[in-house]
């Protein structure tokens, strides 16, 4: 009985081996393909990363070389000639706008800024900065309502340049002759928990320049908060 059992086990093992080899012959190419896909995917990913890094380094070198040019117009032209996308492209666009502004080409600067603001590949913080600088650069060449609409989108909670946009909105109120609204806006900026010291001082200076009494306004604001609570 023992010999029979041993013989059966040996036969069974051989059958299993034959089946395994059969499966390997029939489906082994799938395992090979999976391995090749994994290796190929990893290699392609590394190649892509290397290409992106090289492109960023090349763009950085070109930007630095352009910035060494003394003439504003020539420097702007050199920057405009740089082909870059994503963050590097956004930085290049902002630098182009800055240099065109120095040459007095406000329309060209605004066009460069608008291109960055509309670039979906650029980080949002660069897009918001470009939009803000575009409004500021164009000034009263744009209708006041157009500027107010553009700035309002940048002054919402969580926006990176929210308080600067609010300051520009307050200045628009001054331009429109609405001193009461401007004073209220500057006071809100000065009391904001995230306001910088410089911006707070500018806000208080504007309130004084508009004829407001800071102590009285702060007292009224505190009293209003107490009543609301």
DSSP state of 210: T
Q: 1-37 pLDDT, tens per residue?
A: 455 556 455 555 655 666 656 655 665 556 556 666 6
Please give the helix or strand (H or E) that residue 142 lies within, else none: none
CA distances from 173 to 57, 159, 170, 177, 216 (A): 44, 21, 5, 6, 21
Note the helical H segments in 68-161: 72-80, 86-103, 106-117, 124-138, 144-152
Q: Would you give the DSSP letter of residue 143?
A: -
Q: What is the pLDDT of residues 158-200, one digit of tens each?
A: 999 999 999 999 999 999 999 999 999 999 999 999 999 999 9
pLDDT band at 83 (very low <50, low <70, confident <90, very high): confident
Q: Where are the domains of the chain?
A: 1-141, 143-229
Q: Tell me the average pLDDT across 138-150.
A: 93
Can you give the C-alpha Rg of the chain in angstroms?
33
pTM reported for the whole predicted model: 0.67
Taking the C-alpha atoms of residue 60 and residue 82, their distance in angstroms, rounded to an integer, is 10
């Amino acid at each position: 009985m023992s010999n029979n059992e041993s013989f059966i086990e040996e036969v069974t093992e051989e059958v299993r081996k034959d089946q395994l080899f059969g499966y390997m012959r029939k489906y082994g190419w799938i395992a090979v393909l999976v391995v090749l896909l994994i290796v190929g995917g990893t290699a392609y990913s590394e190649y892509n990363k290397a290409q992106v890094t090289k492109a960023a380094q090349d763009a950085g070198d070109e930007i630095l070389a352009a910035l060494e040019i003394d003439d504003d117009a020539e420097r702007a032209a050199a920057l405009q000639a740089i082909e870059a996308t994503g963050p590097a492209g956004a930085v290049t666009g902002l630098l182009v706008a800055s240099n065109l502004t120095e040459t007095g080409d406000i329309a060209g600067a605004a066009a460069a800024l608008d291109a960055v603001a509309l670039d979906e590949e650029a980080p949002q913080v660069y897009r918001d900065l470009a939009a803000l600088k575009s409004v500021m650069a164009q000034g009263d060449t744009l209708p006041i309502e157009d500027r107010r609409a553009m700035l309002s989108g940048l002054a919402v909670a969580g926006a990176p340049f929210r308080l600067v946009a609010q300051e520009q909105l307050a200045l628009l109120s001054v331009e429109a002759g609405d001193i009461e609204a401007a004073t209220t806006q500057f006071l809100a900026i000065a009391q904001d928990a995230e306001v910088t010291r410089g911006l707070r001082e500018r806000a208080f200076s504007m309130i004084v320049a508009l004829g407001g009494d800071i102590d009285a306004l702060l007292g009224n604001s505190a009293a209003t908060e107490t009543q609301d609570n």
